[in-house]
Structure 1
Amino acid sequence: MTEAPAEGAPLQAQTTLNVTDADTARALGSGDLPVLGTPRLVALAEQATVAAAQPLLTEGQTTVGTRIRFDHVYPTPVGGAVTASAELAHRDDRLLRFTVAAHDADGRLVGEGEITRVIVNAERFMAKL
């Protein structure tokens, strides 16, 4: 589930994940425990930044991730729920820097950090490949 901000509100969004076996460190190859893997948690936080940036985009634009600083600080078991939130902290033309945090259903901090995205023209970006 993704929620976008209301008109005039700070640019922020949330995404929620119910952890499955496919989301675990064991399944992702980032460890061998059956808990939420850091790569999946970071991807959840990135989803929130994508949603938060949406109101800034015009037709043909998207955002691409360029930098991630993230601390995964608490484990989440299979069956647990995690909600990641992102809020725009800084904008410099096309550069967008978000603060991100993820909490479990009990309100415990699971991870936090900062994600930087850049607004690009999707067609021109893909033409570089």
Structure 2
Amino acid sequence: MELPEFSPGLSARVELTVTDADTAQAVGSGDVPVLGTPRVLALAEAATVAATARLIPGGITTVGVRAEIAHLAPTPVGRQVYALATLAKVDGRKLYFEVVVREGETLVAEVRVERAVLDRQRFIEKALSIEKAIGR
């Protein structure tokens, strides 16, 4: 598998208008009607995927393998947030991203995401073979 050329500084931004479906109540991470931490993480990961998307050749993908999140401020329904992911480091097949999530100038979250570059088909086959081995 030939790895794409990823360079630190690669970045992408994705936006989300918070809906009822994005709240902690809806995603089961709490009982308050504000942007839930799992949705913050999903938004951060979406930004990392967007950052690499145009450089990924067919048959190659990235998967999230580790994340660290600091959810710092609540965001009510109806507000718009954005995640800006920046590739901080490349180590072989590992990509290390720093992501900031903001509502305007307010820092909502800081997220570190580690992704692995891999062969998409082999990954799917491995997942299916594990499923078979455990009898599903």
- Please state how far the C-alpha of 1:54 moved relative to its aligned partner: 1.9
Counterpart amino acid of residue 71 in structure 2:
H
CA RMSD of aligned residues (A): 1.4
The total of aligned residue pairs comes to 121
- Please state how far the C-alpha of 1:55 moved relative to its aligned partner: 3.6
Q: Where do 1:42-53 residues align within 5 Å?
A: 42-53=41-52
TM-score, normalisation: structure 1: 0.90
| Long gaps (5+) in structure 2 | 1-6, 128-136
Contact 1:35–1:76 (8 Å) recurs in 2? yes
Q: Percent identity?
A: 50
Residues 67, 9 of structure 1: CA spacing in aligned structure 2 closer, same or farther, 3 A cutoff? closer
- Please state how far the C-alpha of 1:93 moved relative to its aligned partner: 1.7
Q: Where do 1:1-129 residues align within 5 Å?
A: 10-105=9-104, 107-129=105-127
C-alpha distance in structure 1 between counterparts of 2:17 and 2:58, whole Å: 32
* Consecutive aligned runs of 4 or more in structure 1 exceeding 6 Å deviation: none
Contact 1:95–1:116 (8 Å) recurs in 2? yes
- Please state how far the C-alpha of 1:9 moved relative to its aligned partner: 9.0
Counterpart amino acid of residue 89 in structure 1:
A
Please say which of residues 108-117 and 48-57 is displaced more in the overlay.
48-57
| Long gaps (5+) in structure 1 | 1-7
Contact 1:57–1:119 (8 Å) recurs in 2? no
Counterpart amino acid of residue 65 in structure 2:
T
Contact 1:24–1:34 (8 Å) recurs in 2? yes
C-alpha distance in structure 1 between counterparts of 2:68 and 2:54, whole Å: 24
C-alpha distance in structure 1 between counterparts of 2:22 and 2:84, whole Å: 18
Instruction: Tell me the residue number matched to 2:3.
Output: none
SS at match of 1:128: helix
SS at match of 2:83: strand
Instruction: Tell me the residue number matched to 1:5.
Output: none
